[in-house]
A and B are shown apart, each in its own frame.
Chain A
Amino acid sequence: MVFFGGRSLVCAQDMDPVKKEPGVIVYQLRVGVNIGGFTPIPLPAEIRALKSFNPMLNISIEGNVIYWLKQSPHSWGFRTGIRLENKGMKADSRVKNYGMEIIGGEGEKVAGNWTGGVSTHAANSYITVPTLVAYKVNDRWSFSGGFFWSLLVDKNFSGYVFDGYLREGGPTGDKVVFEDGKTASYDFSNDLRHFSYGIQAGTAWQISKHINVFGDLSFGLNDMFKPEFKTISFKMQPVYVNLGAGYSF
């Protein structure tokens, strides 16, 4: 929608060339990595510590188009494109009294409160369309901010609980201890939402006429899990930094 708005602005300028400078369209190819994780914001009090974190190697490739309103050094603009990206993480945390419910393959339901270690492995692939407003400060620096819209194409969200105990049904329920390497695993990959969106803001620094390096920070705004999914009681959102280099044609 932002892109089409830009197009009609170009037409207006053609009819009245004296009053405004012509805009510039730039095509760009970007390659980068995503570093970050899926987390509830803010961290709920049930999460007591992060014991280990592995950001993994998450690649992103983006083709985008920017329309700068003016050619002069300062200019506003609009940017959109298509990004193929991976977002993943491996994290071990320690939780206390963390309410959860596991559904077995035959419909059995076990609900309770877990205190102990939780190990999570997430690895998702998305097709993402960013829609952004950009501002060029000078020949070197530019900033951008706006929304992104993602479609989940490949997914994994699994892990296991370890070194702790479960209180069945609630904090005063029967207690079962998991120690000496005993674990219970979970796989919530099929409970992930297909469509997600969020906000993105970033900056780019032009190294040469064609090449830039960039950093974008993105926050997912909707829960990564489907609304029917009650096992994880808080909203899990992706928070990622996308760092890389771009080539403008």
Chain B
Amino acid sequence: MKNINHIVLLIISCFLVSCIRPELPNAEADILSCTVDPLILRKDPIIQNNRIQILVKSSTDLTKQAPVFTLTPGATIFPESGTVLNFTKPQIYTVTSEDHQSTKKYEVSYIISTIGSKFSFEHVRLENNKYDVFFETDQNNQNIMDWASGNAGFGLTGASSNPEGYPTARLAEGKVGQGVKLTTQSTGSLGAIMGKPIAAGNLFMGEFDLAASVSNPLKSLHLGIPVDLVPAGVKGFFKYKAGPVYKAGGVVQPDKKDTWDVYAVFFETDDALKYLDGTNKFTHPNIYSIARITDVQRIEASEWTEFYIPFEVINNHTIDQQKLKDGKYSLSLVFTSSIDGDTFAGAEGSILLIDEIELTH
């Protein structure tokens, strides 16, 4: 009987193997890499699903730039990779998949301006028709930085059908004009299956790497954007209310109460370190200084309350002024509505409101 089993298994396997149809042409239409003269870069090009941001030094001539792209195998791009274009305004490239069934438009921008030091969160857009993205603009109203958040990851759970239900959303009644509302949300049944029962509302300078968010959540936080000043402190206004039930990994912890966090890290980038992440954000040797809210300041507040956190120097290296000008130093400023949200501990319904943030230097 066993022999017959083996023979039939072999026959079935051969049958199925011979039935494997030829591979279809690729359906994806991605830009996989973007190459630009490294001497003009303040930061490696930031490639997202529909957008590429290339941060360059102020001396760069934007009128004639020719970025070079690699694509999903078999895909084509228009305008062609390496075409010289005028990037004083962003350019749109269209990528077509090998099977010709899909196209994807990328907005490619060269950004000279560094971020300012005052953040009022008046600029926000709806991304993918799903969630809010805050951004900063320069004097020509060009987008120079998107504030990152975990919204794209939350979008995968299908747990909210409108932007207000996402962990990071606009707040109509800020301290002045619009502000930011960070809410710790439940991720629904799909998020719970993935072992991520809650999503803290967060806002940070850097990028959220959605691709890594399931397999390696700590590494999906890319912290840091180039700055040309040495920060001395961070101040701003907040309101906070902790959610009623604190859970760690889905299990209720009756004697723990949720709280919020704000911190900023100023560090040097080099070939080995392009950005910090959840594993080394307070410990990497390249860090120059850290500012972080203390337990005393980390209170609940129902009225707009001012906070101020000074930068404490951790590793007293000399600041290289030329590197500072070239954007080799980076800053990340991070807000979260649940301090242990990285490890999925916190209370659903914890809300942190922030507005009028300022870097002092």
With A and B bound together, what is the CA distance between A105 and B102 in angstroms? 31
For B1-31 the 0/1 string (1 means CB < 8 A from A) is 1001100110011001101111110111110
Given contacts A42-B21, A97-B27, A110-B190, 5 further A-B contacts (CB under 8 A): A44-B21, A55-B5, A108-B190, A180-B215, A243-B8
Evaluate contact between A39 and B22: CB separation under 8 angstroms: no
Evaluate contact between A184 and B211: CB separation under 8 angstroms: no
With A and B bound together, what is the CA distance between A106 and B193 in angstroms? 12
A117 at the B interface (CB under 8 A): no
| B278 vs chain A, min Cβ distance (A) | 15
Evaluate contact between B13 and A50: CB separation under 8 angstroms: yes
Evaluate contact between A109 and B215: CB separation under 8 angstroms: no
- Chain A residues with CB under 8 A of B19: 42-43
Q: Which of A43, A46, A113 contacts B16 (CB 8 A)?
A: A43
| A102 vs chain B, min Cβ distance (A) | 7
Evaluate contact between B24 and A45: CB separation under 8 angstroms: yes
B104 at the A interface (CB under 8 A): yes
For A138-161 the 0/1 string (1 means CB < 8 A from B) is 000000000000000000000000
Main secondary structure of the interface of B (DSSP, over half): loop
With A and B bound together, what is the CA distance between A70 and B24 in angstroms? 55
Q: How large is the interface on A (under 10, 10 to 19, 20 to 34, 35 or more residues)?
A: 35 or more
Evaluate contact between A49 and B20: CB separation under 8 angstroms: yes
For A15-49 the 0/1 string (1 means CB < 8 A from B) is 00000000000000000010111010011111111
| A37 vs chain B, min Cβ distance (A) | 7
Chain-B contact segment, one of A2-10, A78-86, A164-172, A199-207: A164-172
Chain-A contact segment, one of B152-160, B198-206, B314-322: B152-160
A105-B189, A168-B156, A173-B49 known; A48 vs B20 contact (CB < 8 Å): yes
With A and B bound together, what is the CA distance between A83 and B8 in angstroms? 22
A235 at the B interface (CB under 8 A): no
Evaluate contact between B189 and A176: CB separation under 8 angstroms: no
With A and B bound together, what is the CA distance between A47 and B23 in angstroms? 9
- Chain A residues with CB under 8 A of B27: 97, 113, 171
